[in-house]
Amino acid sequence: MSAAADLRALRNAACIVGVDESDEIGNLPHKSQLTLHLEAVANAVRDAGLRISDVDGIFTAGQHSPALLGEALGITPRYVDGTSVGGCSFIIEVGHAVAALHHGLCDVAVVSHGESGRSGVGVSPRRDTSLTGQYEAPFGFGGAPTFFGMLTTRHMHVYGTTLEQWAQVAVSTRRWAMLNPKALRREPLTVADVLASRPVVYPFNVLNICLVTDAGGAVVLTRADRARDCAKPPVYVRGVGEGTEHVMVTQMRDLTFSEATRLAGEKAFRMAGVGPHDFDHVMLYDAFTSGPPLMLESLGLAGRGEGVHCFAEGRSTPGGSLPINTNGGGLSYTHSGMYGIFPIIEATRQLRGECGARQVPGVRLSLVNGMGGMLSAAGTLVLSNEVGS
Amino acid sequence: MELDRPLPNPITPEARPFWDGLREHRLMLPRCGACGHVFFYPRVLCPRCHARDVGWIQASGRGTLHAFEIGYQAFNRAWKVTPPWVLAMVELAEGPRLLSNLVNVEPDPKAIRCDMPVRVVFHRLTDEITLPLFEPAP
């Protein structure tokens, strides 16, 4: 049996049946990281019409292991996965959950994120790895902006991309945030505001960089036959894909093109039987304004160097032909550190038609793509409210 | 004298020839004895052909500025260099890339462009540690 045939067997095998954030998201110095996890799991399980005691598969990334979550939830999972390759790990874990559910390794899977990214409550201090400590820190590198900026200035050099074009990504995303009551930043934003904001590390001003918040989020999945008995309409996982290329930014083969993202997208599209131009809703991990355009290029939704054009002329904004980051993104809604759970939550809500003022009319096929590190790792999901052909 | 930047830490055994070379103002790079691939960072097998026959060569110290940033604030606690400063990704003539700083240049995006030629300058921090920094090359 070929690999492609295996993947087709997983198409629509499982559904997302529950999603939610922690009770609140934002600046939460009164809540520990573990609390953010537990609130999110409890809320997402309730959204599915299930009980925590139904959960027998735990998937998470970050500082807390799936074993700790099982203990804290008071359950004994049959299956755990702690894949941790950066902020997209939760997207990748949805794929792993689909496979585990399909093979009966668990019956109800929860993918959980909790991070006290702003307040640092219940967080252990990080240690430099030998690689960062030897080859990056002595030159002033530290924190994602000092690495992602390299991809960005190289893209500007190769394709002539401008600071104004990156700023349009922040402006487009804010337009959606203004429609989302849960978004942290909802005041109007212009390209001039982005260009005039505080310089952090060229080419990024502070408004080119995601928020730093405290937040939890969780996603519940079960097999398609069981999904029909849950509280909300099922969202079918039609395609999943993952890839990793590098960790150290110097090791990325082409700074303007993410091989990990290309791999993840190709696998997910092939499994789902769709092409890059079939989507009517797109969620892209936006830690920096340059991230989503590079993802569009690596996924094949835009030509090389042309990703920024999707954010010009209102295409990506409310009422546009390619709505992107309709929750307001990491740039304006929330970004706790490992953002990847939140695009899954928003895509699910859009496909259920729950999004109120920001609802995209008639959404049928949604693309979720996230990165880990500096486009070092990637996860892609193709989600739909229909089984499809 | 108080250091204005963090010392490389921890130094790993497989990287010792790199750091020893810098102390003597030589930029040393790992080279695969089987396929000739020159790579960085140091590791005990070749990332191209996977042979375990890794030796060392002295690099020319010349390369190009592959990408850059200008820092306007410190990003780690031990960083005391007064901003702005230039963070650099250098592509060495021998092939591999490394992160460094571009010095002896105005820290202004108008004065710096990707692919400009650069050359190594050795920046002594302690008796043990010298860092490879880069400056514009004629």
Block residue for tokens 């797109």:
A282
Please list every residue in chain B whose beta carbon sits closer than 8 Å to the beta carbon of residue A200: 72-73
pLDDT in tens, A61-75: 999 999 999 999 999
Distance CA A114, CA A34 (A): 7
Please list every residue in chain A whose beta carbon sits closer than 8 Å to the beta carbon of residue B100: 139
The answer to whether the Cβ–Cβ distance between B76 and A149 falls below 8 Å is: no
The answer to whether the Cβ–Cβ distance between B99 and A141 falls below 8 Å is: yes
Asked if this assembly's ipTM is beyond 0.90, the reply is: yes
The answer to whether the Cβ–Cβ distance between A150 and B7 falls below 8 Å is: no
pLDDT in tens, A89-104: 999 999 999 999 999 9
Nearest-Cα residue of chain A relative to residue B108: A202
Query: 0.90 exceeded by the pTM?
Result: yes
CB B132 within 8 A of CB B74: no
Structure tokens at A292: 């989503």
The answer to whether the Cβ–Cβ distance between B87 and A149 falls below 8 Å is: yes
Name the minimum distance, in Å, from the CA of A125 to any CA of chain B: 14
Q: What is the pLDDT of residue A8?
A: 86
- Class for domain A3-122+211-384, per CATH? alpha beta
Q: Is the pLDDT of residue B23 over 50?
A: yes
Distance CA A366, CA A94 (A): 15
Calculate mean pLDDT across residues B60-79. Answer: 96
The candidate with the shortest Cα–Cα distance to A11, out of A74, A85, A84, A99, is: A99
The 10 Å CB-count burial string (b at 16+, else e) for B55-70 is ebeebebbbbbbbbbb
Please list every residue in chain B whose beta carbon sits closer than 8 Å to the beta carbon of residue A255: 66-67, 89
Distance CA A163, CA A76 (A): 51
Distance CA A72, CA A345 (A): 23
Interfacial residues of B (vs A; Cβ cutoff 8 Å): 5-12, 15, 40-41, 66-76, 78-79, 81, 85, 87-89, 96-101, 109, 113-115, 125, 131, 133
* A141 interfacial to chain B (CB closer than 8 Å): yes
Block residue for tokens 């202004």:
B108
Q: Is the pLDDT of residue A4 over 80?
A: no
Reduce the DSSP state of residue B86 to 3 states and report it: strand
pLDDT averaged over chain B? 96
Q: Is the pLDDT of residue A126 over 80?
A: no
Please list every residue in chain B whose beta carbon sits closer than 8 Å to the beta carbon of residue A294: none
Please list every residue in chain B whose beta carbon sits closer than 8 Å to the beta carbon of residue A136: 99
Nearest-Cα residue of chain B relative to residue A136: B99
Q: Give A192's contacts (C-beta < 8 A, 6+ positions apart).
A: none
Q: Is the pLDDT of residue B13 over 70?
A: yes
Name the minimum distance, in Å, from the CA of A198 to any CA of chain B: 9
Query: Cα separations (Å) of A87 from A23, A83, A235?
Result: 21, 11, 22
CA angle B73, B77, B82 (to 5 degrees): 40
pLDDT band at A352, cuts 50/70/90? very high
In 10 A of CB A127, how many CB atoms?
9
Q: Is the pLDDT of residue A7 over 90?
A: no
Nearest-Cα residue of chain A relative to residue B97: A250
Q: Is the pLDDT of residue A1 over 60?
A: no
Q: How many Cβ contacts (< 8 angstroms) between chains A and B?
A: 117
Distance CA B66, CA A151 (A): 10
The answer to whether the Cβ–Cβ distance between A135 and B99 falls below 8 Å is: yes
Please list every residue in chain B whose beta carbon sits closer than 8 Å to the beta carbon of residue A198: 72
* A72 interfacial to chain B (CB closer than 8 Å): no
The answer to whether the Cβ–Cβ distance between B72 and A199 falls below 8 Å is: yes
Nearest-Cα residue of chain B relative to residue A206: B72
In 10 A of CB B51, how many CB atoms?
13
Please list every residue in chain B whose beta carbon sits closer than 8 Å to the beta carbon of residue A149: 67, 69, 87
Q: Is the pLDDT of residue B1 over 80?
A: no
Distance of CA A294 to the CA centre of its chain: 15
Q: What is the CATH number of domain B13-136?
A: 2.40.50.840
Long-range pairs of A96-103 with CB within 8 A, sequence gap ≥ 24: A96/A59, A97/A14, A97/A57, A97/A59, A97/A221, A98/A10, A98/A13, A98/A14, A98/A221, A98/A237, A98/A240, A99/A10, A100/A57, A101/A13, A101/A14, A101/A57, A101/A221, A101/A222, A101/A223, A102/A9, A102/A10, A102/A13, A102/A14, A102/A223
Q: Give A103's contacts (C-beta < 8 A, 6+ positions apart).
A: none
Which of B8, B85, B97 shows the shortest C-beta gap to A250?
B97
Distance CA A294, CA A287 (A): 12
The answer to whether the Cβ–Cβ distance between A248 and B41 falls below 8 Å is: yes
* A134 interfacial to chain B (CB closer than 8 Å): yes
Q: What is the pLDDT of residue A146?
A: 97
In 10 A of CB A187, how many CB atoms?
9
Calculate mean pLDDT across residues B114-131. Answer: 98
CA angle B108, B110, B116 (to 5 degrees): 95
pLDDT in tens, A272-311: 999 999 999 999 999 999 999 999 999 999 999 999 999 9
pLDDT averaged over chain A? 96
Domain layout of chain A by residue ranges = 3-122+211-384
Choose, out of A202, A246, A251, the residue to mutate when testing the contact with B (most B CBs < 10 Å).
A202
In 10 A of CB A182, how many CB atoms?
16
In 10 A of CB B120, how many CB atoms?
23
Q: What's the start-to-end Cα distance of chain B, in Å?
A: 33
Please list every residue in chain B whose beta carbon sits closer than 8 Å to the beta carbon of residue A131: 41
Domain layout of chain B by residue ranges = 13-136
% chain B with pLDDT above 90 = 94
Q: What is the pLDDT of residue B47?
A: 96
* A162 interfacial to chain B (CB closer than 8 Å): no
CB B49 within 8 A of CB B35: yes
Choose, out of A132, A134, A166, A212, the residue to mutate when testing the contact with B (most B CBs < 10 Å).
A134
